[in-house]
Structure 1
Amino acid sequence: MSRAEAVEHGDATGMDATGGDAAGRDVIEGGRRPSPLWTFGLFRSELLTTFRRWRTLALLAVLAAVPILVGIAVKIETGDGSSASGAGPEHGGGPAFISQVTNNGLFLVFTALAATLPFFLPMAIGVIAGDAIAGEANAGTLRYLLVAPAGRTRLLLTKYATTMTFCLVATLVVAVSALTVGALLFPLGELTTISGTRISFGEGLARALLIALVVAASLIGVAALGLFVSTLTNSGIAAMATTVGLLITVQILDQIPQLHALQPYFFSHYWLSFADLMREPVYWDDLVRNLGLQSLYAAVFGSAAWARFTAKDITA
């Protein structure tokens, strides 16, 4: 369902966007609720609107370009037969995958995800999430979206689901781009895990997919944070800038040794724990902590976004 169709449908029901659903109830005139098909139509419309924007396409293009640049840089550096330099910290730090890219192109997937997760991926998510509500308000379309029989709660959940879909798509774009470049520039075959054991290429490919899913799940807290910020202002640019600024600030604080007692509670602290999926056996402790922490952030800021949005006076 397009935005124009939603407005037309809403006008036919006589729904008041500014006050009729201020309590966040998904009701329309006569006590009827929107059908599941209508909800799917709203979600599809949001997806199409999001992924048709030039800003979204530009973000995905930048994410796809990172593995290409990393692959070319490694290829040039190792053109004389030497190995790529660089080693990551011990358990809990950044993975030392880049040194193994020349031996197996599949490691470029892990390297690219490690390179984009600290900044590029969360920045892209912050832009999409920050613009979700504030961008509609700034464009003057939020009030008309609420005229449709969605209700504020349903609309907010649709916006969050759209942002989470972008999280998954953005992560897969990085992974697929890295896999393609790795296959073109480097050999493929059996992999050596961080623990030193050998696994087949098929198992390595399965772990690469699992790592991509974990990376996408690692961003659900950022998505909820951005959505909450988006409900606080009617300026899409302000919401995006604030969300990205918070991301940068938290990651800076996560590097200050004096704050070690607080750092395990920062949403970015366990992001690189996906490297533990390349161990044999897999270390699950930090992975579980990461997913639990992201769920907590999603619950807290998702609830805050709902509380703010359902009580917000929509004037645009």
Structure 2
Amino acid sequence: MSSSEATVGTRLRRPSAGWDLLASELTVLFRRWRTWAMLGALAAVPILIAVAIKISGGRRGGPGFLEQISGNGLFVAFSALVVCVPLFLPLTIGVVAGDTIAGEASHGTLRYLVIAPAGRLRLLAVKYAGSAVFCVAAALTVGVAGAVIGAILFPIGPVTLLSGTTVGVGDALLRMLLIALYIVVSLLGMCAIGLFLSTLTDVPVGSMAATAVLAVVSQVLDQLPQLDAIHPWLFSHYWLGFADLLRDPIAWDSFASNAVLQAGYIAVFGALAVGRFLTKDILS
């Protein structure tokens, strides 16, 4: 028996309840070396930022929070999250979401999963939930790695927010977690797009690449003033709106607008994925 068939056999011997199926999916996801390699690459971003600032002797200058890092290590986490949102996080999410269904098909395990008592609809929901959990892990990896390396290499102290108010370390860490949550919400729509694309092919590389490319295209379109009419409808439009969480009081408008937009993408592309997957002839 091949390793892929053994893995499927393990899944099918589990109870068919949704939570058990999800636990099995997460176990498979986080046992892969690829998953840990991507999380390691994300963790390397804040480490590289902190080391570069430390080696440079803390010279002032640079975009965003970079010039604040030498004075307060907590800004490593904020800077890393800003750096990772446009490319690194969408790239890793594209790999996971694009592999959800197509990856099973390419390994010849999808046909075993769809005959399980869980059924196709529950399997699709579990695959999406697995992608969402990876979003949480990815965002927290960047934030936590940034906070840890910042505390090691630089002093830690109260943080001055964008509104000019100074808050304590505990409040600053809480806001970092809120930013991570904001980023997770921002990427949920992209997960739905990747899930749908994954149902269209048996070649995971194609759906992975298409998902990542769409993220880049959406951000490019969002920078063109000639297309400002469609900007609010692009799934990446509010990705950097978490700056409002660094004000006092916190402005929740961007968070709410982002959540509504992502919910729309989840509904549309989730429905497309369901329609495609429930009628798909599965041969592998």
CA apart distance, 1:211: 1.1
Deviation per CA, 1:76-101, whole angstroms, max 9, x where unpaired?
23x1x532x124xxxxxxxx222211
How many pairs align?
279
Decide whether aligned partners of structure 1 residues 283 and 147 sit closer, same or farther in structure 2, where only a CA change above 3 A counts. Answer: same
SS in 2 for 1:218: helix
**Contact preservation (8 Å) 1:3, 1:45:** no
What does residue range 213-224 of structure 1 map to in structure 2 within 5 Å? 213-224=181-192
Select which of 59, 62, 86 maps to 2:62: 86
Counterpart CA distance in 2 for 1:230 and 1:74 is 40
Partner of 2:212: 244
Name the residue aligned to 2:121: 153
Measure the CA separation in 1 of the matches of 2:114 and 2:10. 12
Residue type matched to 2:59 in 1? S
AA partner of residue 96 (structure 2): I
1:234-271 alpha-carbon deviations (Å, 9 max, x no partner): 11111111111111111111122211221121111111
Q: CA deviation at 1:315?
A: 1.0
> Residue type of the partner of 1:284?
W
TM score, norm. by length of structure 2:
0.94
2:9 matched to 1:4? yes
Q: Counterpart amino acid of 1:166? A: F
Structure 2 counterpart of 1:69: 48
Alpha-carbon distance in structure 1 between the residues aligned to 2:230 and 2:138: 29
Establish whether residue 306 from structure 1 lines up as the match of residue 274 from structure 2: yes
Counterpart of 2:104 in structure 1 is 136
Q: Deviations over 1:127-178 (max 9, x none)?
A: 1000000110111100001121110000000001110000000111111110
Query: Matched residues in 2 for 1:245 and 1:254: separation?
Result: 14
2:19 corresponds to: 40
Answer whether contact 1:67 1:174 (CA < 8 A) is retained: yes
- Whole-Å Cα distance in 1 between the matches of residues 267 and 138 of structure 2? 22
Q: Hey, what's the Cα distance between the residues in 2 that align with 1:169 and 1:103?
A: 28
Higher helix share: 2
Q: Percent identity?
A: 52
Q: Would you say the 8 A contact 2:11–2:24 is kept in 1?
A: no
- Structure of higher CA gyration radius: 1
Runs of 4+ with deviation above 6 angstroms: none
The separation in 1 between residues aligned to 2:172 and 2:95, in whole angstroms, is: 32
Structure 1 CA distance, aligned partners of 2:69 and 2:260?
Answer: 31
The answer (yes or no) to whether the contact 2:53–2:59 under 8 Å persists in 1 is no
Mapping for residues 7-26 of structure 1, pairs under 5 Å: 7=12
How far does residue 278 in structure 1 lie from its aligned partner after superposition?
0.5
Unaligned residue ranges in structure 1 (runs of 5+):
10-33, 88-95
Q: 2:28 aligns with which of 40, 49, 53?
A: 49
